[in-house]
Amino acid sequence: MEGISRRTFLILTGAGSTAAIAIGSPWLTNTSEALAPEVSMKTLLDELATFKTPPLEKQSPFNARNNPTIATGVISLLSKQGKPAIEAVGAVSHQLIPGPEGDLLVRIYRPQGNGPFPTLVYFHGGGWVIANLDVYDASCRALTNAANCLVVSVAYRQAPEHKFPAAAEDAYAATQWVMANAAQIEGDPMRVAVGGESAGGNLATVACLMARDRKGKMPIHQMLVYPVTNYAFDTPSYQENANAKPLNQAMMKWFWDYYLRNEADGNNPYASPLRADLMGLPSATVITAEIDPLRSEGQAYAQRLRDAGVAVKATNYTGVTHEFFGTGAVVNKAKEAVNEAAAELRAKFRNRPI
């Protein structure tokens, strides 16, 4: 598979218009000042900073998995405001499903009402190394209610104990299981989408690539929130946000170093989907954040999907950072992003014959 050149294209949206421009354009030159978060995002980042966490890239994976997260900051703010920390849904349950090398735990969020429900198979972020179902619980609850669907959140194997392609294989296996067995969990097997945040967005789209290549069942839509799409660190957003919080360039290098078995794995389209042939993939929602090293590659991936004939709705949210999506309890733009993703999911679920 040929690698993507550095002159990849970005989607810019605004005022009802969309334009594509090349990386390297003078419109995307690095700025001298760091991008500033909007007020509610800054309040959350300031709250997280009070926990005084050592730099992640200087920690072992074990220690890093015990760090406070954006979710910790949200819960802390809500506690100070006397507000509930958890959004209620119809029900939450857990189940073991078969994986490539043993059972995988999934957490199933059900909306109010009676099934069968359309279903989103969801993969959490954390650079394939850290985080878990709890860290991304808020995103799943918000999507369950906003899209009125089941959300099946998958606890996939993590590096460095299980390096590439373990997480990708788990994502594919979990997606195929849900599509074949949705009726067992009150889901509709004809209305199954995939989605995820950051490394989880990578796994969601890679599960679709694998489904195409292996002639498996194909999800009807992919919801990709600031997805990791390329093993490279030279994009405009990597330059602009080299020292951003809560994700920076050094952290992404740390994640990739633990995830890949070797440098050659970075060229594999199941690790770097920006380098893949994207023909035949399902429609996509791509959400990116302005203050995020991953912004450029997410936008470039949206354009590559479009070039391959895939219908894409791509939006970049200004004034917010990586990990903003699940913070709707305290960050207004997170609510907007969840509502956008949910609206796209509902439209795809509605248009699919039952």
Residue 34 pLDDT: 67
Q: Rounded to 5 degrees, what are φ and ψ at 159? A: -85, 160
pLDDT in tens, the chain (354 residues): 323 333 333 433 332 333 333 333 322 333 335 689 999 999 999 999 999 999 999 999 999 999 999 999 999 999 999 999 999 999 999 999 999 999 999 999 999 999 999 999 999 999 999 999 999 999 999 999 999 999 999 999 999 999 999 999 999 999 999 999 999 999 999 999 999 999 999 999 999 999 999 999 999 999 999 999 999 999 999 999 999 999 999 999 999 999 999 999 999 999 999 999 999 999 999 999 999 999 999 999 999 999 999 999 999 999 999 999 999 999 999 999 999 999 999 999 998 754
Which member of 76, 272, 292, 296 is catalytic? 292
In this prediction the pTM is 0.91
Domain count, the chain: 1
Which pLDDT score is estimated for 353?
A: 54
Whether 237 is catalytic is: no
- The partner residues of 291 in beta bridges, in order of sequence, read 321
Q: Is residue 188 part of a domain?
A: yes
Catalytic option among 137, 139, 170, 322: 322
Look at residue 2 and tell me if it is in a domain: no
The answer for residues whose C-beta is within 8 angstroms of residue 176's C-beta and 6 or more apart is 211, 216, 217
Q: Does the residue 15 lie in any domain?
A: no
User: Where residue 102 sits, what CATH number does that domain have?
Assistant: 3.40.50.1820
Residue 262, φ and ψ in degrees, nearest 5: -160, 175
Nearest 5°: phi and psi at 22?
Answer: -90, 140
Residue 65 included in any domain: yes
What is the DSSP track for 54-72?
A: PPGGGS-HHHHTTS--HHH
pLDDT at 35: 87
For residue 218, the tally of other CB atoms under 10 A from its CB is 17
Whether residue 322 lies in the annotated active site: yes
The answer to whether residue 138 is domain-embedded is yes
- Residue 45: name the closest of 24, 16, 72, 20 by CA: 72
Q: Is residue 234 part of a domain?
A: yes
Assigned domain for 170 exists: yes
Residue 12 belongs to some domain of the structure: no
Active-site residue 292, yes or no?
A: yes
In the set 153, 198, 237, 296, the catalytic residue is: 198
Q: Residue 165's domain spans which residues?
A: 53-351
**Residue 36, number of CB atoms within 10 A of its CB:** 11
pLDDT score at 147:
98
